[in-house]
Amino acid sequence: MDRTLKALSLILSYPTAELQGCMQEIDAILAAEPRLAAATRAALRSLTADLARADLYTLQERYVMLFDRSRSLSLNLFEHVHGESRERGGAMVSLLETYRAAGFEPATSELPDHLPVLLEFLSTRPAREAQEILADGAHILDALAKRLGRRESEYAAVFTALSALAGGVADAEAVAGMLAQPEDDPTDLAALDAVWEETEVTFGPDPNAGCPQVRDMLALMDQPAPTLRNRSA
């Protein structure tokens, strides 16, 4: 298992008390990752320290404001590729079939393209396969890192790390195209309701879902990801 991808998946999950209690172990995994630059490891350490010590409700509110109330920062990756087009449904089905072909059945209320779910799946796959799939979305990872950087969010370090793990260089034109799109104002609730009105049930975020089987997560670090159920079990 790729423990680094697993750790990054957990960091991007909805904050809970159980997750806070695991931050020291998660930090140790990331601090020892040679594939990441020293500056990235330092930035991740700052984030994990904050996630471990800050008030839980403050962390949860920040998470929702960033990832659930802003489509431009959505952790549902196909949102950035297909929006609400018909192609998104086909891409979702294809990704779900990829999970199932590998012997896993998603056991979470999140959509298949939810980044923490995808990272947990990739953490169980061969290194080359995981890198290739990450590389397919390198422009999304790079754009999200830059958008979070603009907001001075320490979560930017997670996407910088994922971009590094993807290898290669993201398509500059694709990144520029994403960054040229207007960003949401998560405090404008009227505009938010208008944006999500027609797709809330199907594609709306579930801030309470996060990583539902967080407890004992570090003990399970070398076992199949908690949001993915082994179909042969």
pLDDT the model gives residue 84: 60
Average pLDDT over residues 134-152: 92
Strongest mean pLDDT among 45-49, 118-122, 212-216: 45-49
Average pLDDT over residues 105-122: 84
pLDDT the model gives residue 218: 42
Q: Is the pLDDT of residue 152 over 90?
A: yes
pLDDT in tens, 30-77: 999 999 999 999 999 999 999 999 999 999 999 999 999 888 899 998
Query: What is the C-alpha separation between 157 and 165, in angstroms, rounded?
Result: 12
> Range of 80's domain?
3-230
pLDDT the model gives residue 143: 92
Amino acid at 47: L
CA-based nearest residue to 160, from 134, 126, 132: 134
Q: Is the pLDDT of residue 196 over 70?
A: no
Average pLDDT over residues 215-230: 42
CA-based nearest residue to 115, from 50, 25, 210, 186: 210
Q: Is the pLDDT of residue 211 over 60?
A: no
Is the pTM of the predicted complex or chain greater than 0.85? Answer: no
What phi, psi does 76 have (nearest 5°)?
-85, 105
pLDDT the model gives residue 195: 46
CA-based nearest residue to 165, from 30, 67, 66, 72: 30
Q: How many domains does the chain fold into?
A: 1
Average pLDDT score over the chain: 80
Residue that wins the pLDDT comparison between 184 and 48: 48
